[in-house]
Structures are given as C-alpha cells and as structure tokens.
Homo-oligomer: A and B are copies of this chain.
Amino acid sequence: MQAYNFHTESGEPMSEPRRSFTREDPDSRRAALIRATLELIAEFGPQAATVRAIAAEAGLTQGMIRHYFSTKEELVNAAYEAHMQAQTEASEASAGGAGTARARLAHFVAGSVTPPVADPRAVSLWAGFIHMIRRDPAMHATHRESYLRYRDLLQGLLSDALAESGRPVPEAEARRLAIACNAVIDGLWLEGGALPEAFGSSELEGIARDSVGAILGLSLLRDEASQ
C-alpha cells in the first residue's frame, strides 16, 4: 500500500503533495461509501470491511467515513438498509408486469432464482449481515419488514393466480402456500449461491417453476416466465 508515500532513492521520506480532491455533494459521497461497504462485505466478509478498506474501495480517505457517518456501525446499518430497499424495489418491479396472474407469478419466481438476484455475492452479502440482524433491533426490524413484504407480494400473486384458475383459497391457506413457495425460492437461491458449480445454467429456474407449480397445483409454463 502506501500509494501516496513517496521516498527518495536513498530511502528518506520526501515531502509530497497532498492528493487533490473535488468537493462533491453529500448524497453521492454517502452512496459511494455504502456501495464500497456492500462490495467488501459481499466479497470478503464483514471482517474485511474496515474503515481503511472501505475508504480505499470508495476512492476516498478514511476521514470521510467519520465525516458522513458518526460511526462505522452507522455506515454499516445504512448500507444494510439501502441494500434491503433496493432488493424490495426490484422484487416489486419484477412482480408488476402485465399479463395473467399466473404469468406474473412465473416471471416473479424465475427472477428470484436467477442472476442478479441469485448469485454467490448476494448470498455472501446476506450472510455477512446475519449476526448483526440478530443483535441489532433496528436491523432486525428492517429484515423482518423486508421479508414479510416479499412474502406478502408472493402471497398476493399466488392468490390471484389460484383465483384466476377457479380455485380461490382462504387467506390462512394462502399464507401457508406463500411460506412454502418462498422457502423453495430461498432454498434454491441459497444453494445456487453457495454451490453454483453444482447446477446447470437454467436448471434452478426450471426446478423453481415446477416446484412452485406442484405446491400450488398450477402449471407455470416456461414462456410465461421469461416474458
């Protein structure tokens, strides 16, 4: 390291100009720090997300972390919140297409077990936050809210799809089905992320479609999923 510590040939330290900088708006600085934090946690784990590493990854100096966040923990919390919000928005966009409820469900399921949602980085990132989620009440609440929102989305989709095919289900049953379908999706997401080389490229997508279909008693067709 020490990319900015120049020395003379004799080894003596040489006075060296400070790195130049430009002032940027606070939001983009915060975003850069959050992005760097998520990148490091996903790729190398929470241990690697030190203030110095985060600053380097963001192309800044470590003082910026304390300038924009009162503590490193606060930055990590902000990063978690930003990540969960992005995920939720992506899910809702993925569920919001046109077509029959069955087609929207198929599309939603397929999107949840293929990149970029399902990939080793995403699983690693999730795992990196688990311990903090268990201990920090605020992070636990964010996690809970995000999970339930995703599951409710799924429950709405499958309720509509079942009603559409003439087999409406009461809400309690829809809840159970949503938990089950969510489990299939999460399980495939997990396995694809933790052991990607063990599966063919679109194998998990097909298995997800068939399994959710079997649980619901619907057939989710391939071409419906990919539209």
Which residues does A use to contact B, with CB under 8 Å? 44-47, 120, 123-124, 126-128, 130-135, 143-144, 147-148, 176, 179-180, 182-188, 190-191, 194-195, 198-199, 203-204, 206-208, 210-211, 214-215, 217
In contact, B180 and A191 (Cβ under 8 angstroms): no
Nearest CB to that of A178 among chain B residues? B207
Contact A124/B134 with A187-B185, A194-B143, A198-B144 known, Cβ cut-off 8 Å: yes
A155 to B125, CA, bound (A): 30
**How many identical chains are in the complex?**
2
In the complex, which of the residues B45, B144, B185 contacts A131, with contact meaning CB atoms closer than 8 Å? B45
A23 to B85, CA, bound (A): 55
- Cβ of A85 to closest chain B Cβ, rounded Å: 18
- 11 inter-chain pairs at a CB distance below 8 angstroms, sorted by A residue, are A124-B134, A126-B127, A144-B195, A147-B191, A147-B194, A147-B195, A180-B207, A183-B186, A190-B190, A214-B215, A215-B215
Nearest CB to that of A45 among chain B residues? B131
In the complex, which of the residues B46, B128, B195 contacts A143, with contact meaning CB atoms closer than 8 Å? B195
A191 to B148, CA, bound (A): 11
Contact A130/B123 with A180-B184, A180-B211, A215-B214 known, Cβ cut-off 8 Å: yes
- Cβ of A111 to closest chain B Cβ, rounded Å: 16
Nearest CB to that of A120 among chain B residues? B134
- Cβ of A108 to closest chain B Cβ, rounded Å: 16
A144 to B194, CA, bound (A): 9
In the complex, which of the residues B143, B194, B207 contacts A179, with contact meaning CB atoms closer than 8 Å? B207
In contact, B148 and A198 (Cβ under 8 angstroms): yes
Nearest CB to that of A128 among chain B residues? B131
A191 to B191, CA, bound (A): 14
In the complex, which of the residues B186, B198, B214 contacts A186, with contact meaning CB atoms closer than 8 Å? B186
